[in-house]
Amino acid sequence: MSTIEAVVFDLDGVLVDSDHIWHEVREGLAYERGGRWTERSEPDMSGMSSLEWSRYLHEVVGLPESPQELNREVVRRMRARYAEDMPLIDGAVEAVRRLAGSFRLALASSSNRELIEMVLTQASLTRCFDALVSSEEVARGKPSPDVFLDAARRLDVPPQSCAAVEDSTNGIRAAHAAEMRVIAIPNDRYPPPADVIRLADVTLDSIADLTPDVVAG
């Protein structure tokens, strides 16, 4: 097994409790604009890049605005929610700072870069990370491994020498496909199925349990 040199964090559901906010914002927009929202809409968009989910809102949910306009409006509403109340997960800031002393850190997220930067700035964590990657900057969103592979490339560390911290079904699949050590902290609101959890090398109940020893294995 490779020695772990770096840790790649997801954002939504790992550092911020935001998956339900994304759901509320996109569903609310769909109902406002007369879209066809179904029980599959949010699961389908889980892990998608902004390019992918904005196209989904236009083509599948049927919203009349262009994908670019939908992307801008959703991000505007997300920024407003974050400005009102940044939903940092208990123990997340401390976990990042704890690992920053032992490993190089990157963040690989399906969020738009401006939202990533907003969260890290408000949490005073920007300096802890050597690389930030939004899936809008790669060809495919999760469950494809692109965002994780690009994070490893920017760190100049082999993917096999990285650990990924993930909470979601598509995030765990993406990290596993990137051949990283997968540390799963299952999302309580949207728990991954058992077969996906089995892809993880270790499963934690809380990010408060994430230590350098857990990462190193």
Do 159 and 71 share a structural domain? no
**pLDDT at residue 41, rounded to an integer:** 96
Q: Confirm whether 1 is domain-assigned.
A: no
Domain residues for the domain of 74 are: 19-84
Q: Is the pLDDT of residue 206 over 80?
A: yes
Q: Is the pLDDT of residue 190 over 90?
A: no
Final residue belonging to a domain, choices 39, 54, 84 = 84
Residue 172's domain is classified under what CATH number? 3.40.50.1000
pTM of the predicted model, to two decimals? 0.94
Q: Write the pLDDT tens digit of every residue in 174-189.
A: 999 999 999 999 988 8
**pLDDT at residue 1, rounded to an integer:** 64
Do 172 and 74 share a structural domain? no
Catalytic residue among 10, 19, 150, 167: 10
Domains: count for the chain:
2
Q: Write the pLDDT tens digit of every residue in 15-59.
A: 999 999 999 999 999 999 999 999 999 999 988 999 999 999 999
Do 196 and 178 share a structural domain? yes
Q: Is the pLDDT of residue 110 over 70?
A: yes
Residue 65's domain is classified under what CATH number? 1.10.150.240
Q: Confirm whether 27 is domain-assigned.
A: yes
Do 10 and 50 share a structural domain? no
Do 137 and 31 share a structural domain? no
**pLDDT at residue 189, rounded to an integer:** 85
Q: Is the pLDDT of residue 134 over 70?
A: yes
Mean pLDDT (whole number) for 122-143: 95
Do 108 and 200 share a structural domain? yes
Mean pLDDT (whole number) for 102-130: 97
Mean pLDDT (whole number) for 2-18: 97
**pLDDT at residue 188, rounded to an integer:** 87
**pLDDT at residue 14, rounded to an integer:** 98
Do 124 and 93 share a structural domain? yes
**pLDDT at residue 133, rounded to an integer:** 97
* Residue 12 bears catalytic tag: yes
SS (H, E, C) the chain: CCCCCEEEECCECCCECCHHHHHHHHHHHHHHCCCCCCCCHHHHHCCCCHHHHHHHHHHCCCCCCCHHHHHHHHHHHHHHHHHHCCCECCCHHHHHHHHHCCCEEEEEECCCHHHHHHHHHHCCCHHHCCEEEEHHHCCCCCCCCHHHHHHHHHHCCCHHHEEEEECCHHHHHHHHHCCCEEEECCCCCCCCCHHHHCCCCEECCCHHHCCHHHHHC
Q: Which residue type occupies 149? A: L
Final residue belonging to a domain, choices 60, 84, 108 = 84
Do 177 and 106 share a structural domain? yes
Do 97 and 56 share a structural domain? no
Q: Is the pLDDT of residue 84 over 90?
A: yes
Final residue belonging to a domain, choices 84, 99, 119 = 84
Q: Write the pLDDT tens digit of every residue in 60-80.
A: 999 999 999 999 999 999 999
- Choice among 46-55, 59-68, 115-124, 200-209 with the minimum mean pLDDT: 46-55
